[in-house]
Every structure is written in C-alpha cells, then in structure tokens.
Chains A and B, each alone.
Chain A
Amino acid sequence: MPSVTPRQRIEAALRGEKTDAVPIFLRDLTLGLDVCDFTTPEVCAGGPGGIYHAQKSARCVIETQRLLGHDCVVGSIHDLGLDVDTLGGRVEFPERGIPYVAEPAFSTPEDIARARLPDLHTEGRMPGVLRSYQLVAEALGDRVAIAANVEGPVTKAGLLRGLDSLLTDMVRDPAAARAAIDFAVALACEHVRALLDAGAHFIFVAAASDGPGVIRPEQYLEYTIPGLAKILAAASERGAPVVFHPHGPFTDERFWPLAEAAIETGIAGFQFGERNDLAIAKQRWGKRICILGGPDIPEVLLPGPAERIREVTNEVVRGAGGDGGYVLMPSCSIHREFPLDHLRAMIAAAREYPV
C-alpha cells in the first residue's frame, strides 16, 4: 500500500478527512535561521544590494523540515517588513532577532492616498521571497505541503501604518483606517497570487491584530471579514484553500459569531491561538472546517519540560483530532532561539498518537 505523503496528510486534513497520522504544521517562520546558523540580515537583506537572499532562505526551510520532519512548511524565512521598506518605511534586522518595522510606511493618512501597490516581482525584497518559495517547491513540493504566510487585513494595515495609529484612526478617523486597510488587503491579494504562482499550496492568513484580542467585534466585522473574503477570492482564482488565524478567545461563547462570520466566508481551516479550547472548537465547527492549533507557546512549549509537552500534546490531539480534519500546530508562530527539543517532543507525541 503506498504511503501517505506529508502533503497529502495536510491536504486531507484541510478537506476535513481522516488520514494515517496527525498532520503537523510548525509555522516556523524564522527558526531555520538557527538550524543553518545564519544571521537574520544575512538572509533577509543579505543578497546583492541588500536584497532578500533566496537561496539561504530556502536552505533554512528545507534543512529544518529534514531535521524535524513536519508535514508543512512556509516557503521562506518570513519577514514582517517586506512591504514596509518597499513603500518607504524602515525595517531593522537584528543579528539574532527577527526583522521588525522601525518606521511604518504610512506616517500620515496622506501617505496612504499617495501610495501605489508595488510590483512584487521586481521591487524591494519580495522577488527573493518568491524565489525562495520556488526553490522550496522544487526541493520539497511533491511531498511536503507549502503554506504561504500572508498577513490579515488589520494586521497588515497595522504594519504599514503603525498599529497604534491605525487603531486610533478606527475611532477618530474611520476613513483613514478604511483607506489603510483597503490598501493592505489589495496588497495581501497580490501576495496571495504571487506566492501561489511561486509554488505555495495553500494560504495561511496570519492575523494577530484581527480579532477580539485587539479590536472591537464590530470592527472585526467591518474590516477583517470583508478583507478576508477578498483574500479568499484571490486564492480561489488559483484553487487554493485558505486557513485563517486571528488572535482572540473565539471559543468564548460571546465571540462565537465572529468565528462563524469567518467560516461563512468559505475558509478551509481556522487556527485557534492562545486562550481557546480546541475541544470546543472541534465540537462546534469541526464538521464544517479543519481545526488547527495545539500547545500554548508561553505556557507549555517554551518552558517545557518535554514530558509536559508530550502530555499536553496528547490531551489536545485527543480533544480535537480524533476523527480527522485537524492539524497540530503550536499556538502561534515559531521563531529563532526556540528550543528544538521542545518541538521534537511535540512532534514525537503526535507521531505516536494512534489515529
């Protein structure tokens, strides 16, 4: 009997099906930098003329997958500032940290009106990212699932405008907030198309600032959901599924309608982050979408020890993964300096779990 590939495992889960083992997606956005012992600027701005170094990025992703054996990768070392510096902001690259936005692209609402969407294939560091996805797809794509990490509407707009300014605009100058978010969504849709063309298999909408961990429920319905629908439409053009990962306690009964609104857009999966009960998510929405999530990073995965990580992983998988339609993930993204042994403990527990 032919064995199931990691990619098939993920794709089956996203269709809500049961497979041979619990599928694992680490969303290890910068962990590979440690695996290959690269500095952050060496990869994110280390090519000729400060461009993104595609080959080193791809090597990080490929080596980490070979080391840990997870089923799904992000096709490049992720860099939150990719569009920011192209649009006039400033990004810093700490040697052993992760890139961060030192100055947003849009200091004033007027900057948004003047901005135009960059050509992702020729401008800034994005061409290097796209090349990294291509290299990863060539090396792993037949067997391993590749996710494109794309920021959600408010999250991306917050990176471009500065989150404090954007959230204040939402109250004091809604037209400016709307303009920033519309621009961010249009840009996110361009990312979706370009990354799928470069070899990604599905879209992962990373939305730390979209959700009741940050914004009001009515703002989520006004800004996030329509933006998510547009991202979904862009992915649908290429036939790719979308997973949504906003922050906030969506399994709290008060916020169920917000999860429902996201599900109604047609997403294939929902990653529940910290402060959620995956068993409730599975019970309530597990027949409609794939549930993604797993051990809490600050409470469990980061402090360990390995035995506790195994126990919690088993508990989570028992509650959410019993009948398929589930992908094990850490509660949020994984970055460099994360203890590899702790990830190994989670993966080992999932691999041993009887499906």
Chain B
Amino acid sequence: MDIETVTAELERAIEAGDEEAGPAAARALLDLGVEPTYVTSALSRAMARLGRQFQRLDVFVPDLLVATDAFDAAMQVVEAALLKSESGRKLKGTVIVGVVEGDIHTLGKNLVAVMLKADGFQVHDLGRDVKVARFAEAAQEFQADTIAMSSLMTTTMGRMKDVIDLLVTQDRRQRYRVMVGGAPITQQFADEIGADGYAEDAPDAVALANRLLASGRAGGGET
C-alpha cells in the first residue's frame, strides 16, 4: 500500500477507536520510511477532526474515549521512533493538567490531555483530586509553561483560585499560563480568579493553549 492509503487508514482507525488497526497503520507508515512527525501529524488531524465533531454533537463521549485509547496505542509506536529520529518532534510547550482537589471527574481532563498531546504539546497528567500545592510543585518539577486545571463541581472550583493565589504568593505566577475549564466554569469566573483563559471543552482547550502560546502571554516557565 502507498503512504497516502495507509495514512487514510491510520486516521480512520483513530476516529473509529480501533486499538489494533491504529498502531498497525502507524507501524506500516514508519516501515514505508516516513518521518515520525508525519505520523504524529496524521494522528493530530484525526483527533482534531473528532474534536470538531464532538463540539457539534455528531459524536459523543464514548467515541472520544475509544479514539483516545487508539491514539495512545499508535503514539506508543511512534514515540520510540521519535526518540531515535534526529529532529525528534518539535514540541510546542509543556503543560501540566489535573483535576482540582476534592474532584474526581477525569473525563474532560483526559480528553484535554490527549488532544493537547495530539496537537504537539508535552503533557504531564497529574490525575484527579490534585492538591493545590501539587500543581505548583509539578509546574516546577516538569518545567511547565502552562497549567491546565479542571473542576466539574461548584464546591471545588474555588481550588483553582487557590492554585493561582499560591503561585502569586510564591512570586511565580508570571512564569505560567493558567487555563481553566469544567462544567461550572465560565469566562467570567476565569477572569475573576486571574486565570489566563477558559476553555469550554477539549478542542477549545487546544485552541486556547495555542492562542496563549501565540500571544506570548506569560508562561516563561521556570528559570
């Protein structure tokens, strides 16, 4: 098969959540001699397309979950090749993502993590129920330039402000771009707590991360 055909098969497999065909197509593309970054671009296109369909409610959360599994499986194949390649993958930046303390709703956060990864960001997923101090520590530990926080409950959304306040107290606020999202979160809330941006869903989070990157706003990372 030619590169074009296999690329189409890879994108189809990711969108269909096919955990076997996805990595197989990624391997086949590498065997055909393409650069690993060519494969990651195809993966990124598939996830972005799915994200747009999700925003229109043409696909639903189960579709995104299985696509995420297929994406992860294909990425494992590519990552080994990326490490070997001379140029490697040019990463856009480093993002830590997590669900704030007291909240264990990981669905949205997981989707944000995988779609940021697909778009070329290096992502460190802190998981759920992440303590305020842990966000600040992890930002330093992973030399992040962006902190992305999620909360699905009105009772826990206040922890986002606590994280920002802690960064201010530590005189490190300007080093990071801070993004927030989740069902009860609004742009107004993001403005009130001093976040740099609010995203309504995972595709929106990717767009926001890119906008913040392009704007040159804050996010110098650790120095």
Contact = CB atoms under 8 A, between A and B. Distances in A.
Nearest to A275: B57
A249 B69 CA distance: 27
Contacts of B104: 100-102
A277 to B, nearest CB: 16
Contacts of A214: 60-61
Interface in B109-160: 110, 129, 153-156, 158
Contact of A303 (B60, B183, B186): B186
Interface residues of A, number: 33
Interface in A301-342: 302-303, 335-338
Contact of B107 (A97, A102, A163, A219): A163
Given A168-B62, A216-B62, A98 B155 contact: yes
Contacts of B186: 298-299, 303
A215 interface: yes
B22 to A, nearest CB: 14
Interface string B76-108: 000000000000000000000000001110110
A335 B154 contact: yes
Contacts of A297: 154, 184
Interface string A190-208: 0000000000000000000
A172 interface: yes
Contact of B65 (A167, A252, A337): A167
Name B's interface SS: loop
* Most chain A beta-carbon neighbours within 10 Å: one of B61, B103, B184, B185: B61
A94 interface: yes
A337 B155 contact: yes
Given A171-B17, A215-B60, A98 B153 contact: yes
B38 interface: no
A212 interface: yes
Contacts of B185: 298
B132 to A, nearest CB: 13
A29 to B, nearest CB: 10
A259 interface: no
A94 B100 CA distance: 13
Contacts of B156: 97
B222 interface: no
* Most chain A beta-carbon neighbours within 10 Å: one of B60, B69, B153, B183: B60
A302 B193 CA distance: 14
Interface string A93-114: 0101110111000000000000
A171 B186 CA distance: 32
Given A214-B60, A297-B154, A298-B183, A164 B106 contact: yes
Nearest to A303: B188
A98 B152 CA distance: 12
Nearest to B58: A254
A254 B154 contact: no
Contact of B62 (A167, A249, A252): A167
Interface string A163-179: 11001101110000000
A170 B107 contact: no
Contact of A167 (B57, B59, B61, B102): B61
Contact of A337 (B129, B154, B192): B154
B183 to A, nearest CB: 7
A164 B65 contact: yes
A250 to B, nearest CB: 12
Given A97-B155, A337-B158, A212 B57 contact: yes
24 contacts: A94-B102, A97-B156, A98-B153, A164-B110, A167-B62, A167-B65, A168-B65, A168-B69, A171-B17, A171-B63, A171-B65, A172-B66, A215-B61, A215-B62, A216-B59, A216-B60, A216-B62, A216-B63, A299-B186, A302-B154, A302-B189, A303-B186, A336-B155, A337-B158
Q: Top 5 A-B pairs ranked by shortest CB distance?
A: A97-B102, A167-B62, A298-B184, A216-B60, A94-B102
Interface of A: 30, 92, 94, 96-98, 100-102, 163-164, 167-168, 170-172, 212, 214-216, 219, 249, 252, 254, 297-299, 302-303, 335-338
Interface of B: 17, 57, 59-63, 65-66, 69, 102-104, 106-107, 110, 129, 153-156, 158, 183-186, 188-189, 192
